[in-house]
Structure 1
Amino acid sequence: MVMSKKGEVVCVTGASGFIGSWLVHLLLARGYVVRATVKDLGDERETKHLEAMEGAESRLRLFQIDLLDYDSIFAAVNSSTGVFHLASPCIVHQIQDVQGELLDPAIKGTINVLKAAKNAGVGRVVVTSSISAMIPTANHLGDAGEGCWIDEDYCRQKRGNSAFMYSVSKAAAEKAAWRLAEEDGVDVVVLNPGVVVGPILPPLLNTSMTLILDILQGKEFPEHLFMALVHVKDVALAHLVLYENTSAAGRHLCVESLSRYDRFAQHMERLYPQYKLPRFHGKNGPLKSNAASKKLIDLGFQFTPMDQIVKDSIQTLRTKGFLS
């Protein structure tokens, strides 16, 4: 059942990010009143594009939070009937303090948000996890599904590789959310997006679009790289679908298709032959359908096709001046 939510007050954590900005845009377009969180209210790179959105003047309020500070989170969440928890570090480059910069904000931040939601009397909380919580390498693409989790012990052995530790952060944070949902009775539903790309609303280039730019500029990638792409607007819409459909429950993989890097590169090269894409000489993996996203499709969700995902990504990189 889909419930009408116009005029309802909701909170979006991580609102200034790539996905968060699109979610705020769609929420305002649907008539929601949005309490949006950012890291620094004094940083126009976080605030200016949000404040410029249609409906923002009357229905958007910004809050500065620290994921490790419960009180700042409660102030933002309080008076909301629903919460979209997107705020979490997305770090795939090498960092010195994995625990402090990556794991603690992701895991403890999720715990703080859900506890604040419980204490504020919030109804549903949509938690943004990742396909990275399900599958660590391309060798396990076929295993993606609601019951699949990464091997955290294996990933922790690769502690020097921040991409593996990012997977740990997403899996551990999601497990914490499910534990609190069971213990405290919070209504939690989870979205597990793949590599999110497409039109950029914030002024800064995010991690996933940097990956697309690197590919177009000929950077070589390791054999284990897989491309589980999804359009950023689709991911934002999927958050709304999970929030507005009372029947939605559990985890929801959100990808248009699954493929190894070599297959995706061939796809891009067909559309944009002027770019000299790097060659991958490993096993040629097939392009898989988005059957793994069946739960969303069963809720009536339709994904943007791959050609359009690629075209929108290239166009935004050109428009923003990141690509000539």
Structure 2
Amino acid sequence: MADGGKVVCVTGASGYIASWIVKLLLLRGYTVNATVRDPNDRKKTDHLLALDGAKERLKLFKADLLEEGSFEHAIDGCDTVFHTASPVMITVNTDPQVELIDPAAKGTINVLRTCTKVSSVKRVILTSSMATVLAPETKLGPNDVVDETFFTDPSFAEGKKQWYILSKTLAEDAAWRFAKANQIDLIVLNPGLVIGPILHPTLNFSVAVIVELMKGKNPFNTRHHRFVDVRDVALAHVKALETSSANGRYIIDGPVVTIKDIEKVLREFFPDLCIADRNEDITEMNSVTYKVCLEKVKSLGITDLTPTETSLRDTVLSLKEKCLV
């Protein structure tokens, strides 16, 4: 259960999933030390400061993923650290190593190293991704069942120039190695493509996919999609803190939906919508008809995931409210 006396740290707190984690933690009575790149950038922090309980129990700290020791003040005195900070971009400008891989992998080790120096830290909860689970060498068919034992092969991701997938995979791998060597109680959450209402004022990568679909485009050029609701993902993080027996990785992802299912929900808002169904050149990375085993995340008490149509509807309402569409 929630413990009002506990102080926890959330890195990258102004991000999409992190903002929801902060919101839930405050609602459950925790004191939250939140790291952001610039606490004075009101555009990035106002939505956090406006949350219920923020006045009393939210403190902002400046920290940088690549700056050794910059998380020490924020983590000092914390019982649990949620490490969500990591760059999300699918296309890199010039150098994937500098733009994605270093901040993801080195940043994770920077945070974990600080946790080994702070005696109050009992557990670290890392936000990873289905990207670190889903790109094994073999193509997954509709009868394959994906679970927490699946790991993306980094050389496969590198060969395909899938830099985001590579950055997340290397970061999670580095985290497990470091945690093992330093006896850190590490828990990893592996969500699929996260949608749902946004608390922050800008468009993030995963919700931008919905914006593209709302425009009739099909960004992944695939007939099948899977989405998981940000509120479920945030709750899984908090439950990973509150469940003492929690351990290892937890996959959290939604059921397969077709472009037609998505179009049906979005048509309520955009009656003339017709999403491109270009199906000739689907790549194997995009075939998402496999099954996902959610037994492990259910053990955290996450039993009823938000239906995809509810998530889609709430995403659109939130985008309209924030004037992002």
- State if a TM-score over 0.5 links the two structures: yes
Match of 1:157 in 2: 159
Structure 1 counterpart of 2:262, one-letter code: M
Write the distance in 2 (CA, Å) between the matches of 1:222 and 1:195.
12
Q: 2:306 aligns with which of 297, 304, 316?
A: 304
Q: Which has the higher helix share?
A: 1
Give the number of aligned pairs.
Answer: 312
**CA distance 1:29–1:4, change in 2 (3 Å):** closer
Write the distance in 2 (CA, Å) between the matches of 1:68 and 1:165.
18
Structure 2 counterpart of 1:265, one-letter code: I
Shift of 1:223: 4.6
CA RMSD of the aligned region, Å?
2.1
**1:175-324 → structure 2 map (5 Å cutoff):** 175-223=173-221, 227-257=225-255, 259=256, 263-273=257-267, 274=271, 275-282=273-280, 291-301=292-302, 302-323=304-325
Write the distance in 2 (CA, Å) between the matches of 1:191 and 1:252.
5
**CA distance 1:265–1:42, change in 2 (3 Å):** same
Write the distance in 1 (CA, Å) between the matches of 2:195 and 2:246.
24
Out of 311-320 and 244-253, give the one that drifted further: 311-320
Any unmatched runs of 5+ in structure 1?
none
Structure 2 counterpart of 1:296, one-letter code: V
Structure 2 counterpart of 1:155, one-letter code: A
Out of 201-210 and 40-49, give the one that drifted further: 40-49
Whether contact under 8 Å (1:33, 1:59) holds in the other structure is yes
Superimposed CA distance per residue, residues 184-221 of structure 1 (whole angstroms, 9 cap, x where no aligned partner):
00000110000011101000010001011101112244
**CA distance 1:152–1:226, change in 2 (3 Å):** farther
Shift of 1:308: 0.8
Question: Secondary structure of the equivalent of 1:75?
Answer: helix
Whether contact under 8 Å (1:13, 1:37) holds in the other structure is yes
Write the distance in 2 (CA, Å) between the matches of 1:280 and 1:293.
31
Compute the TM-score of the two structures, normalised by the length of structure 1. Answer: 0.90
**CA distance 1:108–1:286, change in 2 (3 Å):** closer
Whether contact under 8 Å (1:139, 1:224) holds in the other structure is no
Write the distance in 2 (CA, Å) between the matches of 1:226 and 1:139.
15
Q: 2:34 aligns with which of 23, 33, 36?
A: 36
Shift of 1:42: 2.2
Out of 123-132 and 210-219, give the one that drifted further: 210-219
Whether contact under 8 Å (2:9, 2:81) holds in the other structure is yes
Structure 2 counterpart of 1:51, one-letter code: L
Question: Secondary structure of the equivalent of 1:272?
Answer: helix
Shift of 1:82: 0.5
**CA distance 1:254–1:49, change in 2 (3 Å):** same
Superimposed CA distance per residue, residues 40-92 of structure 1 (whole angstroms, 9 cap, x where no aligned partner):
12211211111111111111100111111122111211110100000000011
Shift of 1:311: 1.1
Out of 16-25 and 4-13, give the one that drifted further: 4-13
Instruction: Give the share of equivalent positions with the same residue, in percent.
Output: 39
Compute the TM-score of the two structures, normalised by the length of structure 2. Answer: 0.90
Question: Secondary structure of the equivalent of 1:71?
Answer: coil
